Structure 1
Amino acid sequence: MVMIFTLVTAVQEKLNEIVDQIKNRREEEKRRKEKEAEEAEKVAFQGTVVTIENFLAWKATFEMDMAEIRRKRQKEEEQAGKTKLTGKQLFETDHNLDTSDIQFLEDAGNNVEVDESLFQDIDDLDLDEDDPDFDPLEMGSDED
């Protein structure tokens, strides 16, 4: 009985050592991966050190690129005829537009004559404008 107890205890201790070694390896592997991830993250955030020379070189190329883009846009607008004048510019350049609306209305023949006598007694009308449920669109429909 004592001998079996001694053997079982020795096996248990050996198994505990093996389990501890496995745990230690896993923890060490986990720490190593975390450290590698941190290093990779640090490398990702490290960029080119900005110096006056680097900045001036970048600025020169950037300004050339922007000027080229502006030239391309201007050419595209000129080719597409997209140089539209504003309303003010149109009226300043073409004085025929000053009277064009009046001529259009006269030419269309849509002169509407208004019978002003219909509006003489407008104060006598019972309009429910003070009513919070007043809806001017419902006034014309008395189908209720």
Structure 2
Amino acid sequence: MTDYAEEQRNELEAIESIYPDSFTVLSEDPTSFTITVTSDAGENGETVETTLKFTYVDKYPDEPPLWEIYSQENLEESDTEDILTLLQQQAEENLGMVMIFTLVTAVQEKLNTIVDVMKNRQEEEKRRKEKEAQEAEKVAFQGTVVTIENFLAWKAKFELEMAELRRKRQKEEEQAGKPKLTGTRTAFSGNNLFPVKFLLTPWLSSYAAGNNVEVDESLFQDIEDLDLDEDDPDFDPIEMGSDED
């Protein structure tokens, strides 16, 4: 005849020696106790923990003990459900033998697996953020690519602004009683001085510098062939802007 009480006392003494810092007796009739189980630390020191409560039944170990999750730290609800399912499976496999150590060991391994999963999730999240940052940097570096279409749109707008500038300048000169200047001379006179290369390659000297755009230099390949002689005295902004013109 099995002496259940004796087997339970012997196991309790063994468990207390194995887990001296995490074992606590809650009651003696029925025998009830807790064991705190903590996972190994993850890469960044993260851990998960649970305190298991066991209660002996009269015919333990021929019948499984009662158990519950007494407390937990950093575990999700799905994790606690998995632990309870694991305890049930291990108890059924070990009926007839004292099993507390086996149950606790199985839970310890489960907690370590949970920490590994947490680590993998953190690494995936880190990689995702790094990829997003790289994509954002790539977009910022490339900026707006200059195409025939957007250059011509800019050119049309620029020409309208220059025409308005010339009209305004001519009006001011007429009101001041000065000779009427040609469109070219107006653009290069007084405060309206514009370098030739700025007029012809505004994306290279202005927009590209301020917006990190990629410029199609073929759009400007014929600049050197244009009939603009900066050495011509008439091209001198100072002479153009003088009253002697």
TM above 0.5: no
- Shorter-chain TM-score bucket reads 0.3 to 0.5
TM-score by length of 1: 0.41
Greater fraction of residues in strand: 2
Length-normalised TM-score, structure 2: 0.27
Kindly name which structure, 1 or 2, has the bigger radius of gyration based on alpha carbons: 1
**Greater helix content:** 1
